[in-house]
Structure 1
Amino acid sequence: MILLRLRTLAAALLILAGFSGGIAHAGDKREAPIVVELFTSQGCSSCPPADALLHEWSRDPGVLVLSLHVDYWDYLGWKDTLSRPGHVKRQQAYARSTGSRQIYTPQAVIDGQYQVVGSNRAALKEAMQAARKDMRLALDVQRKPDGLPVAVKLPASANWIGEAVVWLCLFDRKRDVIIERGENTGRSITYVNVARSWQKLGLWDGGPVEIVLPDLADYDWHGSNGAILLQSTRGPILGVAELGHR
């Protein structure tokens, strides 16, 4: 189910190359995992293969996958039980970064800048290979002695020009859903790393900063996880750190 395929990967790389300029320099690292966001829906018949592919990549420690469920297919007979309204806005922002006015499922966005059909294994691998060549800023998660994350330190980057948002994304590690109506009637699907909340913690303009995290003492770390994403207001993800309380 595709409203409109976005521009080819090659074209997207050309368009977005300028967004990541000025971030790589001495001291930057590529230790953080690649971030793969899959915009998906329980009401989309084309989405299960992409959901299964995301499940495969979730086993790779060098990849952070996130399932972002959208609600614009709810009218087909089944309301997505995991959707969040903010996910549509996030997907629309990615579409605007490539000059598109339309969105679709399943769509995978890699590191906030490479956009491909989420069920296309070859295109996804190509985008991930491109993302691995990009440099990242190292985010330092500060923890209590018991491992509870309490703050994140962002380093300075002398070459950075612009503004970036510091996001806290909390997600469920696994959700099993039996779909009772709509295009996927009768299917039981396991979704991984289901994004359930996004919180804007602050802004970064290239200088060193420490941001205190909200109190996560009562968070279910066994069934859930969290990540800090440093993301340019123009799209690309500049740094990421999983919280993974142990």
Structure 2
Amino acid sequence: MILKNLLTVSVFTAFMFAASAFIQKDEIKTTSKDTASDNNGFAVLELFTSEGCSSCPPADDLMGQIQKEYKDQQVYILSYHVDYWNRLGWKDRFSSAENSQRQQAYSRLLKSQTYTPQLVINGKTEFVGSDRNAIENAIQKTIPDSKNASINLSAAVSQKAITVSFKTTQADSQSKLLINLVEKKSSTQVNGGENEGHRLQHWQIVHKQEQISLKDHPEGTVNLTLPENFSPDNWEIIGFIQNPKTGTISGVSRAIIQ
């Protein structure tokens, strides 16, 4: 009877040890998967702003702060200067009709008003561009919830142009690759409009955006005109994949201009 009980205890102990090892192994695999997912997540912040808008400088400053605070994370900032403020006393030298049209497209998709400063994250949600708490909470939620599609980008400069090479495995035939020529930092002395007398600082200014259909061109090159007073250390290329019908951004990458 004693031997039988000892055998029973031994079998039970062995079973519990095996079960414990299995649970621990499963927990390790899950943690590793979650960590990899976190590292692969991203947040694309698109700010719509204007030098003619008195509410915009705080949002511009916030983009500079976020750029610094999240420099080691997959956070990408794109500032689009809209042109509909230009008629109110000051013409924003960074503004364009294309930027205003992009914002209007988001307004239709997200069923939101068109206003400045407005910020859109990953093409899905929008906030007032100076609302730090809302934006940082959205960044912390968006990065773990997103998965970055592969985009290989490189950029080489010549005397007249920047040649951007791209390649992606994105299979969605409706998606487009948007390649952006971005000036990292600049400032303007404003002499009219709501911000008259102020020197405004700007970060991550989009100067040019090229849209490429991935259905026909999953890889290739694009030539961008070299901007005036170009300095490689103050410019970069940011490319992201977006479905224009839903607004969803599924991948993003950055290239240093060499």
Could you say whether these structures have the same fold, taking a TM-score greater than 0.5 normalized by the shorter chain as the test?
yes
Q: CA deviation at 1:238?
A: 1.1
Kindly state the Cα deviation for residue 113 of structure 1 after the two structures are TM-superposed: 1.4
How far off is 1:220 after superposition?
3.8
* 2:96 matched residue in structure 1: 84
Residue 236 of structure 2 is aligned to residue 225 of structure 1? yes
Q: Which one-letter code corresponds to 2:207 in the other structure?
A: R
- What RMSD over aligned residues (CA atoms) do the two structures have, in Å? 2.7
Deviation of 1:223 after TM superposition, in Å, equals: 2.3
Task: Output aligned runs, 1:1-246, within 5 Å.
Answer: 31=40, 33-59=42-68, 60-61=70-71, 62=73, 63-100=75-112, 102-132=113-143, 133-141=145-153, 150-157=164-171, 160=172, 163-200=174-211, 202-205=212-215, 209-214=218-223, 220-233=231-244, 234-246=246-258
Cα 1:87–1:143 change in 2 (3 A) is: closer
Structure showing greater Rg: 2
Would you say the 8 A contact 1:151–1:213 is kept in 2? yes
The 1:73–1:216 alpha-carbon spacing in structure 2 relative to 1, beyond 3 Å, is closer
TM-score (norm 2): 0.73
Q: Which blocks of at least 5 consecutive residues in structure 1 are unaligned?
A: 1-26
Higher-helix-fraction structure: 2
Alpha-carbon deviation of 1:149?
6.7
Distance 2:178 2:221 in 1: 12
Q: Aligned to 1:127, what secondary structure does the other structure show?
A: helix
Residue by residue over 1:4-38, the C-alpha shift from the partner in whole angstroms, topping out at 9 and shown as x without a partner, is: xxxxxxxxxxxxxxxxxxxxxxx999636421111
Question: What amino acid is aligned across from residue 136 of structure 2 in structure 1?
Answer: K
Moved over 6 A (4+): 215-219
What per-residue deviation string (whole Å, max 9, x for no partner) do you get for residues 145-173 of structure 1?
A: xxx9752211144xx5x511111110111
Per mean C-alpha deviation after superposition, the further-off stretch among 134-143 and 118-127 is: 134-143
What is the SS of the residue equivalent to 2:223?
A: coil
Contact 1:231 1:238 in 2 (8 A): yes
Residue matched to 1:22 = none
- Size of the aligned set, in residue pairs, is 211
My pick for the range that moved more, 127-136 or 179-188, is 127-136
Contact 2:41–2:146, Cα closer than 8 Å, also in 1: no
Identity in percent: 31
Q: Report the 3-state secondary structure (helix = DSSP H, G, I; strand = E; otherwise coil) of the residue aligned with 1:97.
A: helix
Paired with 1:79 and 1:245, the residues of 2 have a C-alpha distance of 29
What TM-score do the two structures reach when normalised by structure 1?
0.77
Q: Any unmatched runs of 5+ in structure 2?
A: 1-35, 157-161
Secondary structure, in 3 states, of the residue corresponding to 1:222? helix
CA shift for structure 1 position 230: 1.0
- Judge conservation of contact 1:40–1:107 (CA < 8 Å) in 2: yes
CA shift at 1:58, angstroms? Answer: 1.3
